[in-house]
């Protein structure tokens, strides 16, 4: 795997973090963090991940938005997101294989988010992040649907354990950017 890393200028780093701030309740990073752009060549092509304070933290999705990596959620937790869903074991297994999150796999909805917001799925008491995606329903509606035993898609997957973003993040972490 080929890895390329270049530090971002202070101006570019500020612009990146300002853009990211529009998607989240708050950012967990220091006020003036070290930011680099890391590119990793995989079989499927180049993946660009932004490395913040040495942690591969953000990537730009196909829709142009900045999403957190699972490594970032492991390092900084998920409290900076607008919301999370706690999933059961069956859902965690299905998510690790690439599924979207369905309503029956949700044990609890936390936070206040709108349809289309970026949220994470976490598993167990340790709150291990297993997926990052886009909410198909707002938090209040999702709570109601889960409580009523409804079926259907709850969160569209964008990033999961074991995917290309995960692989790229691990390569950047190994490099010690």
User: Under DSSP, is residue 95 helix (H, G, I), strand (E, B) or coil?
Assistant: helix
Residue 151 C-alpha from the chain's centroid = 24
The boundaries of the domain holding residue 103 are 83-159
CB-CB contact of 172 with 3 (8 Å): yes
pLDDT digits 0-9 by tens, 70-82: 999 999 999 999 9
What pLDDT does residue 42 have? 77
Query: Does one domain contain both 50 and 12?
Result: yes
23-37, 41-55, 108-122 — most confident range: 108-122
CB-CB contact of 99 with 135 (8 Å): no
Rounded distance, CA 98 to CA 112, Å? 25
- The mean of the pLDDT values for the chain is 94
Backbone φ and ψ for 65, nearest 5 degrees, come out as -80, 160
pLDDT digits 0-9 by tens, 18-39: 999 999 989 999 989 999 999 8
Token pair, residue 140, equals 């209040």
Where residue 59 sits, what CATH number does that domain have? 3.10.450.120
CA-CA-CA-CA dihedral for 109, 97, 164, 127, to nearest 10: 30
**Mean pLDDT across the stretch 88-114?**
97
Rounded distance, CA 35 to CA 51, Å? 6
Query: Does one domain contain both 6 and 45?
Result: yes
Where residue 87 sits, what CATH number does that domain have? 2.30.130.10
Query: Does one domain contain both 90 and 63?
Result: no
Rounded distance, CA 45 to CA 174, Å? 19
Domain count, the chain: 2
**Mean pLDDT across the stretch 91-115?**
97
- Closest to 68 (Cα-Cα) out of 21, 2, 116, 9: 21
Rounded distance, CA 128 to CA 114, Å? 23
Query: Does one domain contain both 131 and 100?
Result: yes
pLDDT band at 177 (very low <50, low <70, confident <90, very high): low
Query: Does one domain contain both 64 and 49?
Result: yes
What pLDDT does residue 24 have? 94
Rounded distance, CA 165 to CA 169, Å? 6
Residues contacting 18, CB < 8 A, separation 6+: none
Query: Does one domain contain both 36 and 95?
Result: no
């Amino acid at each position: 795997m080929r890895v390329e890393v270049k530090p971002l200028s202070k101006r570019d780093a500020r612009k990146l973090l300002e853009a990211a701030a529009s998607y989240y309740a708050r950012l967990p990073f220091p006020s003036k963090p070290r930011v680099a752009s890391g590119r990793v060549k995989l079989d499927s092509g180049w993946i660009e991940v932004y490395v913040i304070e040495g942690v591969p933290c953000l990537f730009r999705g196909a829709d142009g938005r900045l999403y957190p990596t699972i490594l970032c959620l492991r390092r900084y937790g998920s409290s900076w997101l607008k919301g999370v869903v706690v999933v059961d074991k069956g859902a965690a297994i299905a998510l690790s294989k690439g599924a979207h999150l369905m309503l029956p796999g949700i044990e609890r909805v936390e936070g206040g988010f709108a349809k289309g917001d970026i949220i994470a799925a976490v598993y167990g008491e340790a709150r291990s992040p297993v997926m990052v995606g886009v909410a198909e329903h707002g938090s209040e509606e999702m709570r109601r649907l889960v409580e009523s035993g409804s079926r259907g898609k709850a969160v569209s997957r964008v990033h999961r354990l074991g995917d290309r973003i995960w692989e790229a993040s691990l390569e950047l972490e190994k490099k010690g950017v």
